[in-house]
Amino acid sequence: MEKEITIYDIAKDLGVSPATVSRALNNHPAVNEKTKKKIYNAAMEMGYQSNVFASNLRSKRTNNIGVIVPRLNSSFQSSVLAGMEKVANEAGFNLIISQSLESKDKEIANTHSMFNSRVDGLLVSLASNTESLEHFAPFIKKKIPVIFYDRVGNFEEMFGVTIDNMKAAHQATSHLIEQGCQRIVHVLGNIKVNVYHERLKGYKYALLDHSIPFDENLIIYSDLNEEAGYDIVQKIKSIEPRIDGLFVSNDACAASCLKQLKLEGYRIPEDIAVVGFNNDVISRLVEPNITTINYPGYEMGELAMRNLINHLDVNTENLLKNTNRITLRSELIIRESSKRK
C-alpha cells in the first residue's frame, strides 16, 4: 500500500499553509477561487482522498442511501432507479442497491446489511411474501428514515410513494366496458402485494359501477412474465361464456397474451379488447399497440428520493407521522388494442 497523501503533502508541494489547503478543499469563502482551483487540481493529481471516514465519524453521516428492490432486472424498477440516482447524485449522495429476489428472508438480510453499513436513509419496494415490517424497526428506533415505494405492503403505519392502483384499474376496466366488453378477464400477480390487491379492487368496483356481475372465473393469477401468455390463453379458451376483454397487470405479459391470442385466431380488438399496465416500450412496439396505464417510474424514483433527502435535514419523525402516503398521477393511454369505436 502506498503512503496516503495528506493535506501537508499538498501544502508542501504548492508552498502554501496546510490550513489554506484544508480551507480550500472544504470550499471555505476565505480562499480565493484561483487558489482553490490550484489546490483542487494538485489534490487530484497527487491522488488525495478526502478523509471520508473521519468526516463521517464527526457528522454521523455516510452520505449513502440504501435501496432494496424486488428485482434489478425489471423495466419498471430500472426506470425508478434512474430517477433516484439522478436526484441523489445531484445532492451528493451515493446509492447502495440490493435486490430481495422476491424473498422475505433475503430482504431481511439486506435490511440488516444496510443497517450495519449505516446508510443515512432507506428506500424499499417490498418482496411479494413480506408479511411484517419488523425488520425495519431498528431504523425507526435510530430515526433513520425509511420510505416505501410501489410495493408498499398493506401496512397503514409506514410512509409510502405509490400511484392510485385502484383508480388506475377502475379506469382500465371502465374503458373496456365502454368499448362494449361484458366478460373481462383480469390477469394479476400475488394478491398479497398491495399493487395487485388494489387493482383487483378497482376492477371489481368498475364492474359494480356498470352493473356487471363479478365472476370469480375471470380472475387469472400469474407471475406476469413474458412467457405467461401461452398458459393464460389456454385458460381463456376454456371459459364459457366466451370472454371479450382482457386487462393484464403488466405490459410484457399483455404483449405475450396478445401474441398468443393472435396465433389462436382471435382478432384484437374485435374479438377480445386488451389493456396492459406500465406503458413499457413493448406496449408501443407490438401490433396492435397496447392500451395501457402510464406508470411514471422515473418520476416515482425522483419523488421518493427527494422526499427521503428532505427528511434527513428536518425533524424526521413528525414529517413521517403527518404524511402517510404520496400518490403519483397515472393515466390511461388508449391505443389500437382496445379501440373498437
Residues in contact with a copy of itself by CB under 8 A are 1-2, 44, 47, 49-50, 52-53, 56-57, 60, 63-64, 71-75, 77-79, 81-82, 85-86, 89, 94-99, 101, 110, 112-113, 115-118, 137-138, 141-143, 226, 252, 255-256, 259, 262, 281-282, 284-287, 298
Angstrom distance (rounded) from CA 137 to CA 146: 10
Q: Given the DSSP bridges, would you call strands 121-124 and 160-163 parallel, antiparallel or unpaired?
A: unpaired
Distance CA(74)–CA(89), nearest Å, equals: 22
Give 168 or 286: the residue with its C-beta nearer to a copy of itself: 286
Query: For the CA atoms of 315, 318, 322, 324, what is the dihedral angle to 10 degrees?
Result: 70
CA distance 94 to 71: 20
Distances (CA, A) of 90 to 11, 41, 306: 30, 22, 10
Secondary structure element (H or E) that encloses residue 317, with its range: helix 316-322
Q: How far is the CB of 276 from a copy of itself (least distance, A)?
A: 12
CA 239, 186, 201, 194: dihedral to nearest 10 degrees?
130
Nearer CB in complex with a copy of itself: 108/239 = 108
* Closer CB to a copy of itself, 106 or 201, in the complex: 106
Q: Which is nearer to a copy of itself, 99 or 173 (CB)?
A: 99
The whole-angstrom separation of Cα 82 and Cα 301 is: 7
Please report how close the Cβ of residue 166 comes to a copy of itself at its closest, in angstroms.
Answer: 27
Rounded to 5°, angle at Cα 236 from 174 and 193: 60
Least distance CB 204 / a copy of itself (angstroms): 29
- Cα(123)–Cα(96) distance, rounded to whole angstroms? 10
CB of 82 to a copy of itself, least distance (A): 4
C-alpha–C-alpha distance, residues 92 and 239, integer Å: 55
Closer CB to a copy of itself, 39 or 282, in the complex: 282
- CB closer to a copy of itself, 77 vs 338: 77
Peptide bond before residue 138 is cis, with ω within 30 degrees of 0: no
Count CB-CB contacts under 10 A for residue 217: 12
Distance of closest approach, residue 186 Cβ to a copy of itself, in angstroms: 21
Cell triple for 54:
473521519
CB 120 within 8 A of CB 312: yes
Q: Specify the residue, 285 or 334, whose C-beta has the smaller distance to a copy of itself.
A: 285
Work out how close the CB of 167 gets to a copy of itself at its nearest, in angstroms, rounded to a whole number. Answer: 26
**CB of 198: closest distance to a copy of itself in angstroms?**
25
Least gap, CB of 213 to a copy of itself (angstroms): 34
- Return the number of the residue (35 or 64) whose C-beta is nearest a copy of itself: 64
Nearer to a copy of itself, 283 or 330 (CB): 283
Q: β-strands 331-333, 292-294: how paired? A: antiparallel
**CB of 299 vs a copy of itself, minimal distance in Å:** 12
